[in-house]
Amino acid sequence: DVKVTQSSRYLVKRTGEKVFLECVQDMDHENMFWYRQDPGLGLRLIYFSYDVKMKEKGDIPEGYSVSREKKERFSLILESASTNQTSMYLCASSLRSMNTEAFFGQGTRLTVV
Amino acid sequence: GENVEQHPSTLSVQEGDSAVIKCTYSDSASNYFPWYKQELGKRPQLIIDIRSNVGEKKDQRIAVTLNKTAKHFSLHITETQPEDSAVYFCAAFTSGTYKYIFGTGTRLKVLA
């Protein structure tokens, strides 16, 4: 059973703080993704990675960075959190070699105050 | 950039009726189209998918159709039940770019 685990279910941070969201998958997937989910806007791709140390910008990368030092772990970094980054963040992973589904983590609800 | 349009944003049906959700994608190189169901407070989970070499796929009460020429794909749920109430997302995946682009979601309410 595929497991994608995000380190926190809920986070409250202050404006200007550096925030780390961690995601770990246990299925040896090459691809990993970070999405942001907001009502009416669906799932918007922030960054993705198709291999260790590789990263690609998605549709809304501004204000975010990522790190993929190990295959199983993909971190999302908010360099200086702002209130407009209050959102639900979803991590996902998938195999690269086949067109198959992405498996999602349980999500992190981040509130920036 | 690539995008996926999804309609309607909300859909209410009576229990037992059918529900149809439609998506249009922009990248003609997209070759895999999954549909996800997200129940309240839970992660999105795959319910059905279709690849670009297939026009239709069915799994019990749910089916997906794909029109590559028009770049449309649709989810059909028959004999809806209250437990079908959720948010549904369509997505388009392009193997050359490794990206899943999602639609904006449809909130389906099945009224008992």
CA distance, residue A75 to nearest chain B CA (Å): 18
Query: Contact at 8 Å (CB) between A94 and A84?
Result: no
**Distance from B15 to chain A by nearest Cα, in Å?**
25
The set of residues, in sequence order, having a beta carbon less than 8 Å from that of B71 and lying 6+ positions away, is: B24, B25, B26, B28, B30
Do A22 and A5 form a contact (C-beta atoms < 8 A)? no
Q: In chain A, which residues have their Cβ closer than 8 Å to the Cβ of B101?
A: 45, 59
Structure tokens at B81: 């039940």
Whole-number average pLDDT of chain B? 95
Instruction: Kindly report, residue by residue over A17-41, the tens digit of the pLDDT.
Output: 999 999 999 999 999 999 999 998 9
pLDDT tens, position by position, B1-56: 789 999 999 999 999 999 999 999 999 999 999 999 999 999 999 999 999 888 99
Range name among A7-11, A25-29, B65-69, B93-97 with the lowest pLDDT average: B93-97
CB B49 within 8 A of CB B32: yes
Chain B neighbors of A106, CB-CB under 8 A: 42-43
Give kind and range of the element (H or E) at residue A12: strand A10-13
Residue A2: pLDDT over 80: no
pLDDT at position A29 is 93
pLDDT of residue B1: 73
Give the pLDDT confidence of A37-83 residue by residue, as tens digits: 999 899 999 999 999 999 999 999 999 999 999 999 999 999 999 99
* CB < 8 Å to B43, chain A: 90, 104-107
Distance from the Cα of residue B9 to its chain's centroid = 12
Q: What is the pLDDT of residue A8?
A: 93
Per-residue model confidence (pLDDT) at position A92: 97
Write the DSSP symbol of residue A50: S
Distance in angstroms (rounded) separating the CA atoms of residues B86 and B57: 21
Model pLDDT, residue B53: 87
pLDDT for B2: 83
Q: Select from B28, B74, B33 the least CA-distant residue to B51.
A: B33
**How many CB atoms within 10 Å of residue B53?**
8
Residue A113 CB contacts under 8 Å (≥ 6 apart), including other chains? A12, A13, A14, A15, A83
Using a CB–CB cutoff of 8 Å, tell me whether B34 touches chain A. yes
Q: CA of B69 to nearest chain A CA: how many angstroms apart? A: 20
Q: Do the Cβ atoms of A101 and B95 come within 8 Å?
A: no
